[in-house]
Every structure is written in C-alpha cells, then in structure tokens.
Structure 1
Amino acid sequence: MHDHVAEAAFPCVGAKAALARGTLDVLAARDLTSAWDDLRIHDRLLHFAVAYREKPALFRSLAVVFEGPGDLSEPQFERLLWDRVQSLSDKDVWRGQRYDDSVSPDPDDPHFSLSFGGEAFFVVGLHPHASRPARRFPNPVMVFNLHDQFEILRAQGKYEGMREKIMVRDEALAGSRNPMLARHGEASEARQYSGRVVDDAWQCPFHYKGDA
C-alpha cells in the first residue's frame, strides 16, 4: 500500500502527505466477501477516532487491505464495499457509539458521511478492475479518511487548492476529470465511495440502524 501511494503518478496528495508524515495506517484483512474481520476493523476504527480526538492532526488515513477477491467487476466491488460498510455501522450501533452530529446518516443527504466511534469518515475504495486508474490496486482496499480533516482544510483556506491539485493529477493520469467528485454539501459523498461512475437513478444500499 505504501509503495502504491509513493508512486509519482498517484494523484491523491493527501494520501502522499499521510505517507510522508507516517500517519497512513494499514490493516490487513482476509476477504472482502466475508464478515470475518469486521469486528477487528471496527476496533481499529474506534481506536483511530479516539486517537484523533486526543491529538487532532491532518492527513490521517486507515487503509484496510483485503486478501481478495481479485477478480471483481466494478458493480461487484461496489456491492461488497457497502456490505462491509453496513456491517461496520451495525457494530457501531451495537456498541452504543453515537453518530457524529456534524454529518447526516442519510445517504441521500448532501451532508452524509459515515460515523464510527463518534467521528465522521469518508471511504475511498480501490480494487484491481477500477475504471479510474487512480482507484486501481492489486487487492481490494477500503481507505477510511476522517471527515473533520476536510473541514479543517476549508477553515484554513487550503481545501480548494488541494482538491484542484488532485483533480489535475487525476486528469493527467486518466485523460479526464473524475465526474463523480463533488464537494461535501453539494451532493452525497456516498456516490464516490466505490469509484464506479453512477447516474442519478443510483440508490445507495446503506441504512443506518441506530438513533442519530
């Protein structure tokens, strides 16, 4: 994972900054099709949320790298990513964690984000057969990014510059800008998680089962 982010062509400057600062955590998991490691992943997310509250810092990410499967189509990867998200969210409810009240649990809401341990997270999916080159990786991966970091960058006046830099680098890699990228509050970020291009009729399969 670290070598992939370090490649010169990799467009996400935020991930590169996390790598440079030693704040890109990697967790190995067994299979994206299985709930086998979900409790262990949720444990790490809770620890990640607590550590961030104790010492807030920009460019912290948790990458969960699964052993397989390596032959998933984009729709298959998308379905399995949301299966894991649903399972992790259900564990958050089961463990009595509050939903971050700075975001919405409704995936149709433009202010939607996931919440684990009381902190909002944005997920980026990677896999071998992603149509966008920036989303390709030899294994299925779910990268959890703290939503609060984007708000800090906005408050510092750095968000738009970083976003444009990422989009320019992605365009150089893919030949076009990613049509799914949208600012938080303009469209639900749920449409961006898997990396697949979806139309306006797309319905997010996630349902928060707690009391937000």
Structure 2
Amino acid sequence: MNTVKQTPEIRYTDIENEYREFILTQKHPCVMAKTLFMLNDYHLHIYDDMQDTICIKNILTDLERFINQYDFDSNTFESFIAVFPNNKFNSEYEFETALWHTLQELHNLDDSEWDPTVSDNPNDSKFSFSLKGRAFYIVGLHPNSSRLARQSPYTTIVFNLHWQFEKLREMKTYKKVKKRIRKRDKQLQGTINPTLKDFGNDTETKQYSGRQVDKDWKCPFHKKQN
C-alpha cells in the first residue's frame, strides 16, 4: 500500500481546518473569534514544543512580525494563535504550569520595555502581559480544559492585543460584545466562566489558563529586574 508523506503544508492545512471547525462550526461562544475566522484575520503558527527555548524564541520573533504588520489606526482586529500539537496535558494544573513557564521565558527573552498603558505587576487589576512593547490578553486552551469554549483541538496560546479591547470601548461596543459572549457561554455550558472579570476589577492573570483558581492562588510570573 502506498503511503502519502505528510508535508508541513498538509499538516498546517489540516490543523488550520480543525481550528476553523472548532470556532465556526461548533457552538463556540466568542463572537469575536468567529468574526476573526470568518474574515481570516488570524495568524496561526505551529510550534513543536511550548517549553523548548528555540520554539519560544521563534514565538517571540513571530509576535514581533505580527505587531509590526498590525494597523493600529484601523478598526480591524487580528489575533496571534500559537498551536502546539505535540504538547499534551492530563490536567488543567499541568497546562497552567507549562503556560506560565512559556510566558516567563518569553518575557525573559524580550528586550523591549513593558507597555506603559498597563501595569507590570501581576497582582494589579490593571496588569496585562507585555511583549515587544505591546500589551496582550492571553487565552490558554487545551483539550482537557474544564471549559468547553477552551477545549481546543490542540494545546494553544492566543495572544490578543489589549489595544483591541480599548478600541471596542472607544467604539462603544465593548459591553454589547461582552454580554453576547457571556450569554453564549452560559448557553453552551450552563454557567459563564467564573474566572472572568472586567479589566480593572481583578488581575487578569487568573483568567489566562482557564483553570478556576482559588482565592489563595499566586501568579507565578516575575518581572525581570532591569
């Protein structure tokens, strides 16, 4: 029997199609994600191992390219999606540990100043993760997440520019979008994600992994000393 060799192009297309089905075909609650996928306004990258130093360096390089091509004067929103097909986690805690390791290493390699529009203190309600001088809201997803909306086909980190949320507020559509997403999330799972809080009400670090953390949880991230 002849076998067809899986080229990187075929593998990328297969994985991308799985994500398009996950977001567009299934009852995914995030209307923003659906819009991005319908308009092809996403940048999906595949990496071998989220805890490998070379891969982390590549993520940072790709994020810098993503930022440089972004038109901050437009109303177009885009997301950077890092996919790790080889990383599998049996529990939410295992994923959370790996996620913060990756974020810490990205920060350690970053040679840019922290975005001055947000706090660099992970315990601050105004904190947002910063890379290459731009703030990001991080969304971790993996197949074993307790939240259906985060049960992605593969381990994934989505980097959403914090600027986009401020732009939605400027456009006076933020509250409407937030209400629709939370309503759809409740319809999907029966409850909204209990970790969700508006920016400025609690540290968003509790939301990154998707695991419901307890009140004594401490963010493992440490900002490097200049």
Please give the range of the TM-score, normalised by the shorter of the 2 chains. over 0.9
Q: Distance in 2 between matches of 1:197 and 1:64?
A: 22
Q: Distance in 2 between matches of 1:72 and 1:51?
A: 36
* Paired residues of 1:50 and 1:117 also in contact (CA < 8 A): no
Per the alignment, do residues 40 and 57 of structure 1 end up closer, same or farther by CA in structure 2, a change over 3 Å counting? farther
- 1:1-212 aligned at under 5 Å gives the runs 1-52=19-70, 56-92=74-110, 96-211=111-226
Q: Give me the TM-score of the superposition, normalised by structure 1.
A: 0.93
Q: Distance in 2 between matches of 1:203 and 1:181?
A: 17
> If you compute each CA radius of gyration, which structure gives the higher value, 1 or 2?
2
Cα RMSD, aligned residues only: 1.4
Matched residue count:
208
3-state SS in 2 of match to 1:70: coil
Q: Percent identity?
A: 38
Structure showing greater relative contact order (alpha-carbon pairs closer than 8 Å, 6 or more residues apart): 1
The structural deviation recorded for 1:35 is 2.7
> Deviations 1:158-209 (Å, cap 9, x if unpaired)?
0011001000111111111111101101111100000000121100001111
Q: Distance in 2 between matches of 1:98 and 1:27?
A: 25
Structure 2 residue runs of 5 or longer lacking an equivalent are 1-18
Q: Give me the TM-score of the superposition, normalised by structure 2.
A: 0.88
